[in-house]
């Protein structure tokens, strides 16, 4: 079980859109449409922002959107705001009641 | 609204056993799936293992020989035990529930340090 690959960092100016990729294999990301994304501010618990690849939980801003193509999932944050500065983690179901996380991406708002 | 509160020892010596408990408040342990996740300093999140509503558990293969996750429906809590800890087990440990193959309610996190 290898970690999913995410860029170490992504940055953008307020109001811009950024996209974070999450690359896996046909045994995880590509094998299931079960990728979730988490926003993680330092010192706090991670917060679920996307499940099933593109679904937003109740209360999560529609500025967050998810998609998937083959073995790669993506998270797009539109209308970037200062409060979006955080770490973002993807996670995929990998079969057999197992999960694999991504390497994590630090988002910086310039 | 379900809340998770976790507790346990935060400082261990190598070879000791890590023991953390996660209490489920405002909801029932039964009928859901529960998970433990950790984040070593400066690294990403790592799935440790999960327990389902029947008490059946599954573990990360890299930890399987040392980890046990158990549930106690009478106390509405579930627990993590990791034996023979080493420095590499130093991490923030989180409990969470699983819904729609995602983790939507998290405990507050417990920093566990393994040091001689």
Look at residue B90 in the predicted model and tell me its pLDDT: 98
Look at residue B25 in the predicted model and tell me its pLDDT: 96
Count other C-beta atoms under 10 Å from residue A14's C-beta.
11
Which two three-digit tokens encode residue A99?
């999960």
Cα–Cα distance, A48 to A4 (Å, whole number): 17
Look at residue A83 in the predicted model and tell me its pLDDT: 97
Residue A102 predicted with pLDDT over 80 = yes
What percentage of chain B reaches a pLDDT higher than 70? Answer: 100
Q: Residues of B with CB below 8 A from A8's CB?
A: none
Average pLDDT over residues B78-83: 98
Q: Residues of A with CB below 8 A from B61's CB?
A: 1
Distances (CA, A) of A71 to A4, A47, B20: 10, 24, 35
Interface contact flag, A98 B47, Cβ < 8 Å: yes
Across the A:B interface, residue pairs with CB atoms under 8 Å apart total 63
Average pLDDT over residues A66-91: 98
Look at residue B53 in the predicted model and tell me its pLDDT: 83
Q: Residues of A with CB below 8 A from B106's CB?
A: 45-47
Cα–Cα distance, B108 to B116 (Å, whole number): 26
pLDDT in tens, B18-69: 999 999 999 999 878 999 999 999 999 999 999 998 889 999 999 999 999 9
What percentage of chain B reaches a pLDDT higher than 90? Answer: 94
Look at residue A69 in the predicted model and tell me its pLDDT: 96
The partner residue sitting opposite B102, judged by closest CB among A36, A45, A97, is A36
Average pLDDT over residues A4-32: 97
Q: Residues of B with CB below 8 A from A6's CB?
A: 44
Interface contact flag, B101 A36, Cβ < 8 Å: yes
B42 shares contact with chain A (CB less than 8 Å) = no
* Residue whose C-alpha is closest to residue A18's, from A74, A73, A76: A76
Pairing label, strands B33-39, B91-99? antiparallel
Calculate the average pLDDT of chain A: 97
Interface contact flag, B104 A98, Cβ < 8 Å: no
Whether residue B100 contacts residue A51, with contact meaning beta carbons closer than 8 Å, is answered with yes
Whether residue A90 contacts residue A36, with contact meaning beta carbons closer than 8 Å, is answered with yes
DSSP B107: -
Cα–Cα distance, B115 to B52 (Å, whole number): 32
Residue A1 predicted with pLDDT over 80 = no
Calculate the average pLDDT of chain B: 96
Give the residue with greater pLDDT, B98 vs B1: B98
Look at residue B66 in the predicted model and tell me its pLDDT: 98
Please name the residues in contact with B99: beta carbons below 8 A apart, sequence gap of 6 or more: B32, B33
Residue A97's pLDDT band (cuts 50, 70, 90): confident
């Amino acid at each position: 079980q290898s970690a999913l690959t995410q860029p170490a960092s992504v940055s953008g100016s307020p109001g811009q859109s950024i996209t974070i990729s999450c690359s896996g294999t046909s045994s995880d990301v590509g094998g299931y449409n079960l990728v979730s994304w988490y926003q993680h501010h330092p010192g706090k618990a991670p917060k679920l922002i996307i499940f099933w690849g593109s679904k937003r939980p109740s209360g999560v801003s529609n500025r967050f959107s998810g998609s998937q193509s083959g073995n790669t999932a993506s998270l797009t944050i539109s209308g970037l705001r200062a409060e979006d500065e955080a770490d973002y983690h993807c996670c995929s179901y990998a079969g057999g009641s197992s999960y694999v996380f991504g390497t994590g991406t630090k988002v910086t708002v310039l | 609204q379900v809340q998770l509160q976790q507790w346990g020892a935060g400082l261990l010596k190598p070879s000791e056993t890590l023991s953390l408990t996660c209490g489920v408040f405002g909801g029932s342990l039964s009928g859901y799936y529960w998970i433990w996740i950790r984040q070593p300093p400066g690294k990403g999140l790592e799935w440790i293992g999960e327990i389902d509503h029947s008490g059946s558990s599954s573990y990360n293969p890299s930890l399987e020989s040392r980890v046990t996750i158990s549930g106690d429906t009478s106390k509405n809590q579930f627990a993590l035990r990791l034996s023979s800890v080493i420095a590499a087990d130093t991490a923030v440990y989180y409990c969470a529930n699983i819904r729609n193959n995602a983790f939507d309610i998290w405990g507050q996190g417990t920093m566990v340090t393994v040091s001689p």
